[in-house]
Structures are given as C-alpha cells and as structure tokens.
Amino acid sequence: MKFAKGAAGRIGLAALTVAGMAACAPTAKRTDLVVGESICASGRFDVYFVENQARLTDAATLLLNTAAEKARDCRIQRVRVIGLADATGAPDVNLSLSQRRARAVADALARAGMPAPAFELNAVGDAGAVTPSGADELLRRRAEVIIEALPR
C-alpha cells in the first residue's frame, strides 16, 4: 500500500484507521471487557482483644467498619465469627469470654452495615486458640472472621 504525503494523505490515513476500527469494533460492552480482581471474594481476618476483655479496640472497630463497607456491594453468603481466648484463665471463664468476643465482633459488623443474611457465631475458649510453639499469648486473644462473598 502506498501512502500519500501532505494533508490529503493524513486525512486518508485517518479515515482508513477509523474505518478499520469500525470494522473490527467489538460487540461486547466496555464494562464486559474491563475486568479486574473483585473485592467480593471470600476471605478471613483476625480481630485482636486486650487480655480478659471483649471490648473492641479503636483499631478493631476501624477494621470491622472497613470490612463492612467493602462488603456492601457484594453478595454475602455467610459470615462466621469464632471467638477465642488465651489459656491463662479457667476453661469456663475463657469460653464465656470467647462468646462475648464473637458477639462483639458480629454486633459491630451489623452496626457498620455488613450485608450478611446471618452471622454464625462460635466460641471455643482456649481450646481452639492454636499458636505456634512459643508464640505470644496475644495471638490467642482474638476473634476470627471468615466471610464467604461473591460479586453481585
């Protein structure tokens, strides 16, 4: 193919380019073609507590508010909250503390607008708080949050 020089050549080349684009235009919508990783995916995170307390810290509240905000545009299948405690107290006290921690987390997520059909709460006291050998007991003072989510 031979290209003409000058303004006429540039106009002809532009027309050819536009015509070629029109002939190869995709039939899909732009929104169908632009894809990226969805924030609506299943995942888990931990919420840590002060020793012998079920009150949420400011950092925990911020984390839960952020999680609920990100989940608003998702289809939430299930939210599991598992309360845990360290092994420093009596088993019955640790179980009660774990229950209160799980409830505090679920209540905070609900207040923040987590679009969950229901929260599944579990408490395991110190029995389920497994940490690596020699790990700090702080790692056991938590609630695990497991969210099963899908894009809408």
6 or 146, which is more confident: 146
State what percent of residues in the chain have pLDDT above 70. Answer: 68
**Quick one: average pLDDT of 89-98?**
93
Quick check: 59 pLDDT over 60? Answer: yes
CATH class of 43-151: alpha beta
3-state secondary structure of 117: coil
pLDDT at 117 over 80: yes
User: How is the chain split into domains, by residue range?
Assistant: 43-151
pTM above 0.85, yes or no: no
Closest CA to 64 of 50, 46, 76: 46
R_g over Cα of the chain: 27
| Highest averaged pLDDT of the listed ranges 2-11, 32-41, 105-114, 132-141 | 105-114
Task: Give the pairing of strands 119-123 and 74-83.
Answer: parallel
